[in-house]
Amino acid sequence: MKAQDIAPACIAVAGVGLRAALSYFAWGPRLAERVELSTPLHSIFTIAEGFHLKKMGMSPYTGSAFHAPPLVLPLLSPFTDIGDLSSVLPFIAFDLASAYLIYMIAFTFCRLPKKSKTGMKRISSSGWSMYDIQTGQLKEPAPNEASPASGLPDLCAALYFLNPFAIASCVAGSLSGLEALFILLAIYGATVQKPMLAAFGAAGATYMSALPLVLCIPLMLLLARGLEDCPLEYQPESRVRFTR
């Protein structure tokens, strides 16, 4: 194992171990009763209610017990026993995937090119390139290879995956972890300039809740402009301009 892979592996093992330990010692039912961790809209208990109504031949939406989207019921109905260790496995997977996406978003940000002579930072995936007016040669800035070793991706992933609130919410069986996964997938897709991936994440997030709709405009701007830290400008004194 490479040296730079030790920290992410330790974060993953620690986060999974803490979640599994709390679930093993039957903290799940107690945490699931806390409304700050699991609301009626995101509680695993609502999935259990909908599953039992479906087994009785009734619609899960009979009454006001089940509020989750329809596709969530067949996905999580085998894991409705919140007191069992296996019931927390999909929620651990959601959080682990979210932490990985946070790591990759931070890693992509760290690989932004260093400042060029024009005082700007550009990322090659955004589709913009620089060329000198005199020579006509393209000037593609080299990515910053040293910055991923700065520890920022590890720190960002750890702040999420080892967050006590995120751990407790995961053990409580809250569906907010799945919603967060879709949101991060949309942000990651926009960061790496993959519109289909960003659209899939945004669709999944809005399927879970209407609140992620507010991210549509920022995602479109990120897809259109790319990941950058300053606006485009034309500086005549530098004799360098941007073309697309």
More confident residue, 209 or 183: 183
Percentage of residues of the chain with pLDDT beyond 90 = 27
pLDDT band, very low/low/confident/very high, at 116 (cuts 50, 70, 90)? very low
Determine phi and psi for 57, rounding to 5 degrees. Answer: 85, 15
Q: What is the model's pLDDT at position 122?
A: 42
Q: What is the model's pLDDT at position 241?
A: 39
Q: Average pLDDT in the 216-235 region? A: 67
Q: Average pLDDT in the 121-142 region? A: 47
Q: Strand 138-139's sheet: what is its strand order? A: 138-139, 129-132, 240-243
Q: How many Å separate Cα 124 from the centre of its chain?
A: 23
Average pLDDT, whole number, for the chain? 76
More confident residue, 241 or 86: 86
Q: Give pLDDT tens digits for 38-59.
A: 877 778 777 877 877 787 877 7
Determine phi and psi for 214, rounding to 5 degrees. Answer: -65, -15
Q: What is the model's pLDDT at position 48?
A: 79
Q: Give pLDDT tens digits for 70-84.
A: 888 888 878 877 667
**199 touches 189 (CB < 8 A):** yes
Hey, what's the torsion of the CAs at 132, 134, 137, 138, to 10 degrees?
10
Tokens 């590890």 correspond to what residue?
154
Indicate the number of domains in the chain. Answer: 1
Q: What is the model's pLDDT at position 17?
A: 93
More confident residue, 236 or 33: 33
More confident residue, 189 or 29: 189
Rounded to 10 deg, the angle between the 216-225 and 176-191 helix axes is: 20
Q: Residue 141 belongs to what domain range?
A: 3-243
Q: What is the model's pLDDT at position 104?
A: 92
Q: What is the model's pLDDT at position 3?
A: 57
Q: What is the model's pLDDT at position 140?
A: 53
Statement: residue 14 has pLDDT above 80: yes
Q: Average pLDDT in the 191-214 region? A: 90
pLDDT band, very low/low/confident/very high, at 111 (cuts 50, 70, 90)? confident
Q: What is the model's pLDDT at position 96?
A: 95
Tokens for 74, please give them: 């067949």
Q: Give pLDDT tens digits for 157-170.
A: 999 999 999 999 99
**189 touches 197 (CB < 8 A):** yes
CA separation (Å) from 99 to 105, 128, 148, 167, 216?
10, 30, 16, 12, 22
